[in-house]
């Protein structure tokens, strides 16, 4: 594209009534047109992360309308869906009363194009019904205690990752993570403390992940990690970072001496894989990690 064309395109985007923004693989805002910046109260110089933008919206009650008593829990839930599909569309409302049709388009390398159109006058009589449907869908995909993806949503994301692996022949990995000796924590400290450890681990692990990575709770103290566009070596490095962060975590303020570790089974997806085959390999690798002393990553191709 020649420079004059670039200039013309950027001018048209900036004049558009459609809200347009571009986020990089770290979910940092890299471009936003005037309509987007005005709607989310961003100056021309500001390039916040999406999470920082949502936190500021919540504090100042402007931009996105966020109805929650816990913004961090809301962000965990939102991030479990954000950037996980090649294309996603949904409705959302702004604090100024506008109702928006939002779309997210992902590139293979993790860039996200966000667009939002004003649909305030479009079938307003059906809005409550659509909202109830969206709430039900989110609830069906979310682990209620941690706010991240539940088993059902993880399996949907894994099936999509397998399809993408076939279409694009790009490497991808699956990991199963399990907290070590977790029953001992429940027995000695009680189940509420155990729940707190699980939620602490979720925050610790998510801090090591990219926006496009899928992460959720399979049940109990077991989790799944989906790593698109990732070689086995890169996945091993990611898992090692999670293990190192977990060793340092002290999730119980009343018991600062109490820590925990994690074991991880890792596998690279194969062209002939289905959900059962890759899950079985990762589970076998996890069994090997547990048998090798725990607090380690065991991988299999």
**Among 19, 8, 2, 16, residue whose Cα is nearest residue 117:** 19
Instruction: State the Cα–Cα distance between residues 48 and 30, nearest whole angstrom.
Output: 9
What whole-number distance in Å separates Cα of residue 193 and Cα of residue 186?
7
Neighbours of 30 (CB within 10 A): 12
Q: Kindly state the tokens that stand for 82.
A: 């954000």
**Taking a C-beta distance cutoff of 8 angstroms, is the pair 152, 91 a contact?**
no
Positions annotated as catalytic residues are 221
Within a 13 Å sphere around the CA of 60, how many CA atoms are in the beta-carbon half?
14
**Tokens 């399809």 appear where?**
163
CA 4 vs CA 7, 8, 217: distances in Å: 5, 6, 50
Q: Which two tokens stand for residue 263?
A: 């074991």
CA 77 to chain centre: 8
Question: If DSSP codes are grouped into helix, strand and coil, which group holds residue 43?
Answer: coil
């Amino acid at each position: 594209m020649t420079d004059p064309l670039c200039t013309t395109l950027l001018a048209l985007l900036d004049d558009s009534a459609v809200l347009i923004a571009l986020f990089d693989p770290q979910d940092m805002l890299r471009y936003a047109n005037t309509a987007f910046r005005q709607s989310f109260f961003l100056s021309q110089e500001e390039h916040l992360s999406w999470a920082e933008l949502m936190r500021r919206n919540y504090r100042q009650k402007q931009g996105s309308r966020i109805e929650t008593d816990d913004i961090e829990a809301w962000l965990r839930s939102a991030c479990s869906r954000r950037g996980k599909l090649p294309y996603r569309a949904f409705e959302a409302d702004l604090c100024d009363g506008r109702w928006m049709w939002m779309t997210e388009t992902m590139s293979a390398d993790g860039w996200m194009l966000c667009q939002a159109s004003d649909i305030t006058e479009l079938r307003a009589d059906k809005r409550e019904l659509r909202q109830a449907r969206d709430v039900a869908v989110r609830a069906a995909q979310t682990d209620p205690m941690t706010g991240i993806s539940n088993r059902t949503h993880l399996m949907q994301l894994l099936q999509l990752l397998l399809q993408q692996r076939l279409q694009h022949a790009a490497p991808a990995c699956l990991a199963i993570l399990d907290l070590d000796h977790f029953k001992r924590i429940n027995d000695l400290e009680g189940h509420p403390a155990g729940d707190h450890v699980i939620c602490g681990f979720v925050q610790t692990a998510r801090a090591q992940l990219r926006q496009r990575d899928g992460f959720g709770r399979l049940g109990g103290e077991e989790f799944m990690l989906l790593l698109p566009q990732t070689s086995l070596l890169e996945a091993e490095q990611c898992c090692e970072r999670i293990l190192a962060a977990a060793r340092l975590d002290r999730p119980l303020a009343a018991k600062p001496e109490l820590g925990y570790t994690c074991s991880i089974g890792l596998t690279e997806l194969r062209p002939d894989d289905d959900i059962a085959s890759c899950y079985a390999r990762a589970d076998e690798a996890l069994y090997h990690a547990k048998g090798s002393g725990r607090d380690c990553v065991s991988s299999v191709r």
